[in-house]
Amino acid sequence: MRLTRTGMMEVLASDYIRTARSKGLRPGPVLFKHALRNAIIPVVSLAFVLFGYMLGGAFVIEYVFAVNGVGFLAVRSIERADLPVVQAIILLLSVIYVTMTLLSDILNAYLDPRIRVK
């Protein structure tokens, strides 16, 4: 919320918001279409990166509370030196993390037209 608030305050003070208001646009479209769309870009990036940290935290939570899941299986496999299972779990989590990062980049490119692949 603080990141969104800071981004909105920065964007609302910019010239193009002042121009949109001086054109006579209603406050709602100015806030949501112009300001929020540009202020939400860092929030989207941070949210997808924090998702990776949550994947890592799942290992600890599942092991401490003995919840059956991928994290619990990973810790048990490490304890038992079951390398194929550990490799599969690492591959799965890596693919999930890379996919989430790709989705973050695609969403940022949609939100900000200046971000394009050439």
Residue-wise pLDDT for 61-108, tens only, equals 888 888 888 888 988 999 999 999 999 999 998 898 899 889 988 888
Asked whether residue 117 carries a pLDDT value surpassing 90, the answer given is: no
C-alpha separations of 12 from 2, 5, 9, 31 in Å: 15, 10, 5, 8
Residue 21 sits in the same domain as residue 50: no
Token pair for 42: 């860092």
Residue 60 sits in the same domain as residue 24: no
Question: Percentage of the chain surpassing pLDDT 90?
Answer: 14
Rounded CA-CA distance 59/57 in Å is: 5
Phi, psi angle pair for 114, to nearest 5°: -70, -20
Residue 29 sits in the same domain as residue 47: no
Residue 86's pLDDT is: 94
Residue 67 sits in the same domain as residue 20: no
Structural domain count of the chain:
2
Residue 105 sits in the same domain as residue 66: yes
pTM recorded for the entire structure: 0.71
Residue 95 sits in the same domain as residue 49: yes
What is the domain extent for residue 79?
41-118
